[in-house]
């Protein structure tokens, strides 16, 4: 007996397979108009409507134009999805250097534990760029994810559509010792917004909770500086741990 698989089940199977990856490069093209676009995602899901939802870490997700009607595997890491409106989604899957979120390895109470050392750096003027890998928080709830997204939008200058990309947060020390924070794009691997997060402001803040949070950032920058100033021997020992 011949068994047929409906389009939604095909899409579900493909999406389940793609869950082994953590990064997706998507190119779209409309079969009739020829209109094209491209974007990235950190997760893909099938909605009840049969459309695809492209998750973008701590940003507004993208939704396919219509219900998925066909899925064509090109190879083990590339798939074509065709929606009912005639748009073809070419999805290339890969893994980026992110923490494994299946196990929490950091805490919001200790920002230094969330530092992404592979993306953090120190320039020739010895100014630090500290990037956070918030996946170290582990499997956070959708509510917590939305709170982080709101924080990035409201306090890191991330509201604009141009900044709704796969992203995280960063802090950077300037020449005069001030600290800036902002949105770090995981797509371009660079900061895309910059907001003053003044160290001196700590001395004039009267809200104890706000002051405590800023002290955590100051401590994180201090610990990052100590790490960056480690000798090569110490760095090699740390990496081996």
- pLDDT category, 16, cuts 50, 70, 90? very high
Q: Per the structure block, which two tokens stand in for 15?
A: 């999406």
Please report where in the chains the tokens 């009607």 appear, as a residue. 69
Nearest alpha carbon to residue 135 among 167, 171, 91, 109: 167
**At residue 106, does pLDDT exceed 60?**
yes
What is the DSSP annotation of 75-108?
ETTEEEEEETTSEEEEEEEE--S---TTS---BT
The string of pLDDT tens digits covering residues 114-170 is: 889 899 888 777 778 889 999 999 998 899 899 999 989 988 899 999 999 999 999
CB-CB contact of 15 with 45 (8 Å)? yes
Return the pLDDT at 9.
83
Among 63, 94, 125, identify where a domain stops: 94
Return the pLDDT at 26.
98
Q: Per the structure block, which two tokens stand in for 202?
A: 């700590």
Among 31, 62, 94, identify where a domain stops: 94
- pLDDT category, 227, cuts 50, 70, 90? low
CB-CB contact of 62 with 42 (8 Å)? no
Q: Does residue 105 lie within any of the structural domains?
A: no
Q: Per the structure block, which two tokens stand in for 79?
A: 């798939």
Sign (positive/negative) of CA torsion 17, 19, 20, 21? positive
The reply to whether 90 and 115 lie within a common domain is: no
The string of pLDDT tens digits covering residues 190-216 is: 999 998 865 444 444 445 555 556 666
The reply to whether 153 and 187 lie within a common domain is: yes
Q: Which domain does 88 fall in, by range? A: 7-94
pTM for this one?
A: 0.81
Phi, psi at 154, each rounded to 5°: -80, -35
Helix, strand, coil shares of the chain, percent, nearest 5, are 30, 30, 40
Return the pLDDT at 121.
86
More confident residue, 195 or 63: 63
Mean pLDDT of the chain: 83
Query: Residue 51 belongs to a domain with what CATH number?
Result: 2.30.29
């Amino acid at each position: 007996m011949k068994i047929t698989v409906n389009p939604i089940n095909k899409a579900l199977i493909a999406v389940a397979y793609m869950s082994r990856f953590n990064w997706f490069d998507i190119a779209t093209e409309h079969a009739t108009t020829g209109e094209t676009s491209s974007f990235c995602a950190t997760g893909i899901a099938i909605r009840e409507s049969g459309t695809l939802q492209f998750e973008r870490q701590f940003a507004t997700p993208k939704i396919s134009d219509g219900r998925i009607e066909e899925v064509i595997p090109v190879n083990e890491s590339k798939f074509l999805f065709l929606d009912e409106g005639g748009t073809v989604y070419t999805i290339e899957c890969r893994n980026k250097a992110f923490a494994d979120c299946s196990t929490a390895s950091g805490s919001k109470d200790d920002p230094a534990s969330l530092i992404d050392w592979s993306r953090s750096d120190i320039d020739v003027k010895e100014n630090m760029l500290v990037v956070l890998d918030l996946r170290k928080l582990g499997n956070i709830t959708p509510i917590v994810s939305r709170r982080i997204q709101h924080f990035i939008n409201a306090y890191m200058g991330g509201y604009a559509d141009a900044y709704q990309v796969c992203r995280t947060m960063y802090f950077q020390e300037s020449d005069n010792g001030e600290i800036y924070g902002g949105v770090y794009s995981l797509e371009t691997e660079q900061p895309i917004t910059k907001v003053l997060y003044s160290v001196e402001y700590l001395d004039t803040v009267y809200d104890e909770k706000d002051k405590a949070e800023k002290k955590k950032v100051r401590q994180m920058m201090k610990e990052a500086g100590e790490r960056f100033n480690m000798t090569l021997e110490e760095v090699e020992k740390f990496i081996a741990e």
